[in-house]
């Protein structure tokens, strides 16, 4: 349910940019022969010609719509070009479109002001500062000429089909008697026009845009005149514009909430909403949504443009409709493996390009029961800490699946069918970039790095940043037939494979670590493999190393040298954890042999978010494949 945000008192200038039929444009750039042709992008053409996911404006004239199958499109538009989405690992691979979307963000980045990547083909901008600056230094009203693309704007107030449109627009943009807000919007319109031209020059992509005082209105009109046009919403036009607008057109009201407004309150247009007091709306929809509706009806929205260029999560999924449904563990496993492979590639790429790590792995599935009944029961989603490395992700995802299947289906082992699977990497954090690196210490390259750490960790209370530099990963319990486990597998089947379905084999949540700085110090000072132990706030810590004979088996088991790994035993919970303490200095990590890099990437995990830092993420290379 939507929620209202406190709105800034100062008027803002917000733009929403939207690439026109984006996937089609990407394909047209790749194959210019498609330009100007009726074209659509389809995925999986084996069933009824595949599903359309983008349609060119030439094809739309024939009535071709998204949601059609390729065959239908051919029927209404025989000359249509159908381009297929690339496939890898037997699933759609959207990377080329993601990369193209990044290009656009890059082109926009030079903009002064906040930029929010809202989706693969949409961006919000907060141009308030830039507009104010233009208003001060080169206001349109005192310019001799107006940027031409800006004069093609659509101004909501202006009748669009009267007289010389461009002259009218120019006059509006230059109005000396306008209020301050409208003058800022005029500046915003010019800025956006320039930006759109820049995007076109640098990427060959056209886009449409909306310019308004808030995100909601900007988004609402960005698609109003398409393609390759922009629309401005002066505050004076908001009321009339919204009054006749069908509620369903509003973002957030396109679904059940909008239907409820229609069916339960008889509200057809946004204007109809004005007849309800805030209290009344709250009665129906709760405090938050009620207030949001009340404000929305008045064109009020305080939602801020976030300063974010990168996605918050990565999802790889696939559906298995009808006869393609998966009905046994091995087919699930092979698909899950493919999905995890792709996911692993994408988070590795995110790591090496953007210095970000994902913390949580989630598995979603849709399942139906075989014999009809189509019981409403849903397959539960499950998540666990994310361990880097394709194999680990695959293992964990399969365990998550088994755990979910157990909830869904009990201990039976047949009769279900899976119609969709997806794996998500989320809770992504920037890795704090530090100059100190325990890695340097470990490598024996530089001693100031370690002493710098020791210096700070010797006064932990004054340097909370030390905690931010502790990265840890739990020991993974490989064996689920651990003797301590109760024999609760009700299945007479002797295969014990199912005993992990309770989720026991999954990586566990990390315990809270106090005094992390001290552990760091201990690790730095102690010799690996000497079995010296320390107690840190209930965590018994020993420093493991390759020389440690007793540690060798465990080290081998986990396939890594434990040179800077602490084994920590929690007397409270009885859990054992392997802590890997790294202050990741990307430059240093980058110099290491690739296998080592890979291992390190598998270890790191932020304990908590570091101080709000704005490090420049290199979005330009975000989706390029990880270096090999």
Query: 237 vs 9, 39, 156, 371, CA distance in Å?
Result: 19, 36, 6, 57
Q: Residue numbers of the site for DNA (CB under 7 A)?
A: 1-3, 18, 43-44, 47, 51, 53, 66-67, 91-92, 94, 98, 119-122, 219, 223, 250-258, 286, 288-289, 306, 311-319, 321-325, 360, 362, 368, 378, 380-383, 419-420, 422, 427, 509
Q: Indicate the pairing of strand 382-385 with strand 416-430.
A: unpaired
Contacts of 600 (CB under 8 A, 6+ apart): 439, 582, 584, 589, 592
| Strand pairing class (114-119; 565-570) | unpaired
CB burial of 542-580 (b: ≥16 within 10 Å; e: otherwise) equals: bbbbbebeebeebbeebebebbbbbbbbbeeeebebbbb
Task: Based on the residue annotation, tell me whether 122 is a catalytic residue of this protein.
Answer: yes
Distance, in Å, from the CA atom of 329 to the CA atom of 500, rounded to the nearest integer, reads 14
User: By C-beta, is 47 or 62 nearer to DNA?
Assistant: 47
- Give the span between the Cα atoms of 176 and 306, in whole angstroms: 32
Q: What is the DSSP-derived secondary structure letter of residue 415?
A: S
Specify whether the CB–CB gap between 251 and 220 falls below 8 A: yes
Helix axes 447-457, 516-525, angle to 10 degrees: 140
- 261 strand-pairing partners: none
Rounded to the nearest whole angstrom, what is the least distance from the CB of residue 75 to DNA in the complex? Answer: 16
Q: In the complex, what is the shortest distance from the CB of residue 302 to DNA, in angstroms, rounded to a whole number?
A: 11
| Nearest-approach distance from CB 403 to DNA, in angstroms | 8
For DNA, which is the closer residue by CB, 43 or 128?
43
Identified catalytic residue from 116, 122, 149, 402: 122
Q: Provide the minimum distance between the beta carbon of 14 and DNA in the complex, in angstroms, as a whole number.
A: 15
Quickly tell me which residue has 């709250």 as its tokens: 282
Residue 67 or 145 with smaller CB distance to DNA: 67
Least CB distance from residue 445 to DNA, whole Å? Answer: 35
CA distance 208 to 384: 40
Q: Which residues pair with 196 in a beta bridge?
A: none
- Give the nearer residue to DNA in terms of CB position, either 250 or 438: 250
Q: Find residue 362's DSSP bridge partners.
A: 383, 424
| 416-430 and 565-570 strand pairing | unpaired
In the complex, least distance from residue 350 CB atom to DNA, rounded to whole angstroms: 10
> Minimum Å distance from CB 547 to DNA?
35
Nearest approach in angstroms of CB 314 to DNA is 5
Compare residues 207 and 453 and give the one whose CB is closer to DNA.
207
In this structure, the number of other CB atoms found within 10 A of the CB of residue 58 comes to: 21
Cβ atoms within 10 Å, residue 444: 8
Rounded-to-integer distance, Cα 367 and Cα 380, Å: 9
Question: What gap in Å lies between CA 170 and CA 165, rounded to an integer?
Answer: 9
Q: Which is nearer to DNA, 171 or 224 (CB)?
A: 224
Pairing of strands 576-580, 81-84: unpaired
Nearer to DNA, 347 or 498 (CB): 347
Interatomic CA distance for residues 501 and 508, integer angstroms: 14
Q: CA 486 → CA 383, 453, 481, 490, 504, distances in Å? A: 23, 45, 9, 11, 11
- Smaller CB separation from DNA, 223 or 602: 223
In terms of residues, how long is the chain?
A: 628
Nearest distance in Å: CB 624, DNA: 15
Nearer to DNA, 378 or 615 (CB): 378
For the record, the structure tokens of 429 come out as 């954090």
Beta-strand runs (E) in 148-220: 154-155, 207-212
The catalytic site residues sit at 122
């Amino acid at each position: 349910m939507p929620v209202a945000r406190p709105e800034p008192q100062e008027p803002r200038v917000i733009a929403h940019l939207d690439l026109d039929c984006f996937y089609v444009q990407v394909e047209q750039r790749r194959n210019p022969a498609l330009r100007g042709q009726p074209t659509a992008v389809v995925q999986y053409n084996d069933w009824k010609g595949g599903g359309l996911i983008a349609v060119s404006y030439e094809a739309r004239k024939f009535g071709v719509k998204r949601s059609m199958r390729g065959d239908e499109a051919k029927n209404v538009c025989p000359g249509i070009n159908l381009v297929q989405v690339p496939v890898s690992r037997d699933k759609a691979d959207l990377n080329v479109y993601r990369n193209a979307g990044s290009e656009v963000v890059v082109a926009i980045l030079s903009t002064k002001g906040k930029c929010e990547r809202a989706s693969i083909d949409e961006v919000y901008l907060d141009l308030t500062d830039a507009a104010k600056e233009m208003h001060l230094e080169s206001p349109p009203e005192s310019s001799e000429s107006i940027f031409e693309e800006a004069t093609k704007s659509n101004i909501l107030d202006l009748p669009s089909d009267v007289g010389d449109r461009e002259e009218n627009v120019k006059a509006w943009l230059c109005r000396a008697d306008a209020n301050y807000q409208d003058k800022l919007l005029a500046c915003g319109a010019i800025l956006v026009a320039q930006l759109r031209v820049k995007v076109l020059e640098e990427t060959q992509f056209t886009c449409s845009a909306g310019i308004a005082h808030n995100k909601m209105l900007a988004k609402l009109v960005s698609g109003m005149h398409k393609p390759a046009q922009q629309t401005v919403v002066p505050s004076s036009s908001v009321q009339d514009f919204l009054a006749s607008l069908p509620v369903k057109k509003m973002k957030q009201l396109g679904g059940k909430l909008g239907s409820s407004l229609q069916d339960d309150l008889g509200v057809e247009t946004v204007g109809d909403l004005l007849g309800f007091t805030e209290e009344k709306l709250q009665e129906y929809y709760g405090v938050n949504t009620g207030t949001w509706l009340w404000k929305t009806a008045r064109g009020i929205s305080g939602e801020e443009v976030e300063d974010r260029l990168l996605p918050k999560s990565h999802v790889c999924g696939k559906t298995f409709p009808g006869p393609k449904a998966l009905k046994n563990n091995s087919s699930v496993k092979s698909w899950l493996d493919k999905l995890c492979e792709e996911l692993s590639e994408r988070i590795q790429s995110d790591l090496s390009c953007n210095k970000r790590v994902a913390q949580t792995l989630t598995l979603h599935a849709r399942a139906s029961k075989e014999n009809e009944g189509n019981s409403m029961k849903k397959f539960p989603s499950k998540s666990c800490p994310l361990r880097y490395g394709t194999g680990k992700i695959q293992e964990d995802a399969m365990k998550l699946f088994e755990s979910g299947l157990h909830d869904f289906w009990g201990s039976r082992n047949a009769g279900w069918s899976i119609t969709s699977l997806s794996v998500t990497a989320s809770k992504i954090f920037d890795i704090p970039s530090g100059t100190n690196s325990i890695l340097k210490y470990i490598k024996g390259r530089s001693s100031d790095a370690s002493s710098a750490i020791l210096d700070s960790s010797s006064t932990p209370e004054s340097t909370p940043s030390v905690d931010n530099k502790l990265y840890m990963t739990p020991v993974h319990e490989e064996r689920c037939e651990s003797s301590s486990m109760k024999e609760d597998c009700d299945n007479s089947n002797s295969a014990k494979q199912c005993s992990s379905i309770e989720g026991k084999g999954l990586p566990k949540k990390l315990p809270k670590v106090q005094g992390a700085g001290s552990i760091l110090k201990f690790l730095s000072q102690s010799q690996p493999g000497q079995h010296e132990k320390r107690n840190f706030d209930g965590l018994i810590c020993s420093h493991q190393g390759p020389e440690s004979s007793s540690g060798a088996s465990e080290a081998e088991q986990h396939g890594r040298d434990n040179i800077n790994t602490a084994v920590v035993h929690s007397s409270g919970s009885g859990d054992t954890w392997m802590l890997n303490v790294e202050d990741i200095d990307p430059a240093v990590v980058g110099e290491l042999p690739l296998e080592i890099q890979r291992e390190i990437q598998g270890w790191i995990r932020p304990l908590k978010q570091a101080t709000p830092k704005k490090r420049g993420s290199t979005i330009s290379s975000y989706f390029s494949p990880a270096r090999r």
